[in-house]
Amino acid sequence: MKFPGVKIIDRYIIRKFLGTYVFAIALIIVVVVIFDAAEKIDDFIELKAPLSKIILQYYFNFIPFFINQFSGLFTFIAVIFFTSKMAYQTEIIAILSAGVSFKRLMWPYFLSAAAITLLSLGLNLYVIPAANGERLKFEMNYIKRIKGIKYDQHIYRQIEPGTFIYIRSYSDDKQGASYFALESYEDNAMVSSLEAANVKLDPETGRWTAPRSIRRTFEGEKETFDNTQPLDTVVNLSTTELGRVEELVKTMNIHQLGRFIAQQKIKGSDMISRFEVERHNRFAYPVSTFILTIIGVSLSSRKVRGGTGLHIGIGIVLAFSFILFSKFAEEFAKGGLLPPYVSVWIPNFIYAFIAYYTRKPRSSRFGAAPGANRSVGEVSAVSGRKTTAKSGKSRVEAQCGPATAVWPFSVIRSGQVSGLPVVGQVIKILFRHGP
């Protein structure tokens, strides 16, 4: 299928890019699944996990999560790996020597990065939250270390401004809490507290009941007690909010997460920053694909001592530095030191600056040959080749035939054309005319 503005060499680079990316992701997934299965096989056997659920409910939902977690890293590695190979096979030199700008060279990289970004966005916003929900269900049933762990211990939530609830532990089986406290504050001082043990909950109505409760009232330094009344109160708190909240938000798609955050803001929750970090991350992380792609091309498109291995080593260091910097910045938001949108997006802005600085290569970087933009006849004269008097064709061109869209890279690799400028003319034709 042909697309406007996409030439033969564009498709060549796109195939290299996406092919290397898919291969790297597939290889690491196989390795990770094997090691994960080896680690959890005892749990699967002991807790009698059905094979169908292991494959379909656990690993089928684990793979999208893993792909998205390391998509940026493997995009970066894929770009560096195949681009450095192109550089050492003189393909990059040929393209740039033909008068193709570095900006034009980036076009197929942008198209490939856009495809990966759209994939990552789709996974982040809709697919992975649903997959996380199924994966967590499996873990609570068949992974021994977290079996049955659905709710936090010592739950403390703000249910409305100035009103907090404390629950020591909650159990689905008993549909109740071992200890319950409802606290009211004014001007950062507690004014009343309602406490009870062995409290029952009606999940449908949100009503908490107990045969006996203690009401404490504070007036300045004076405290009064009333322990004669049973507990019967309705609290604006769903059972889902009693669970591991940070895992809970990971099971929500982007629309559910937005509604949940709006609800928590009304209640005055002190965990809003954590939820906002999650929401911004779902957009910021896919965008980093473009930034890392630009840096990767700039790093790997020139020859240096150390070859491809050095490029990959530098790439891995930069990619991991980006990931660590992102996690470090998130902690500032969770601690309330920075707004969530600043902490989540600032690594992208910093590395975008790095990408901007490195995007425009110096001509010496690529070793462009003198007279790269000259005509074929002029180039032949410079390189010392004989030309025909009337047509101006070089000896190589006379032997190999006119430049067509069939043989550019095979010619470069095989060394049939030793003069780079001639190869440059071939590549220029490919960029102009397409297939």
pLDDT digits (tens, 9 = 90+) for 159-204: 888 888 888 888 877 788 889 898 888 887 888 888 999 888 887 8
Burial of 29 (0-12, 13-18, 19+ CB in 10 A): middle
375: pLDDT strictly greater than 60 = no
Measure the CA–CA gap between 270 and 235, rounded to whole angstroms.
Answer: 18
Q: 301 vs 365, which has greater pLDDT?
A: 301
Q: What percent of the chain has pLDDT over 90?
A: 22
What is the per-residue pLDDT for 41?
Answer: 93
Residue 1: the pLDDT is 56
Least confident of 228-237, 240-249, 408-417: 408-417
Would you state the torsion angle of the CA atoms of residues 118, 120, 123, 125, taken in this order, to the nearest 10 degrees?
A: -80
Model confidence pLDDT, tens digit, residues 306-315: 566 677 777 7
Q: Which residue has the tokens 């009344």?
A: 229
Is residue 389 predicted with pLDDT exceeding 50?
no
pLDDT at 360: 55
pLDDT value, residue 109: 92
Distant-in-sequence, close-in-space partners of 418: CB < 8 Å, separation ≥ 6: 396
Residue 408 in this model has a pLDDT that exceeds 50: no
Where does 123-223 have alpha helices with state H? 128-142
Span 41-76, pLDDT tens digits: 999 999 999 999 999 999 999 988 888 888 888 888
111-138 pLDDT per residue, tens: 999 999 999 999 999 999 999 989 988 9
The pLDDT, as a whole number, for residue 84 is 84
Q: Per mean pLDDT, which of 47-56, 222-231, 332-341 is the most reliable?
A: 47-56
Calculate what percentage of the chain has a pLDDT beyond 70: 79
pLDDT at 386 over 60: no
**Residue 146 CB contacts under 8 Å (≥ 6 apart), including other chains:** 139, 140
Confidence grade of residue 3 (pLDDT, cut at 50, 70, 90): low
Packed helices 420-433 and 8-46: angle between N→C axes, nearest 10 degrees: 80
Lowest mean pLDDT across 72-81, 218-227, 372-381: 372-381
Residues 6+ apart with CB under 8 A from 85: 308
pLDDT of residue 359: 65
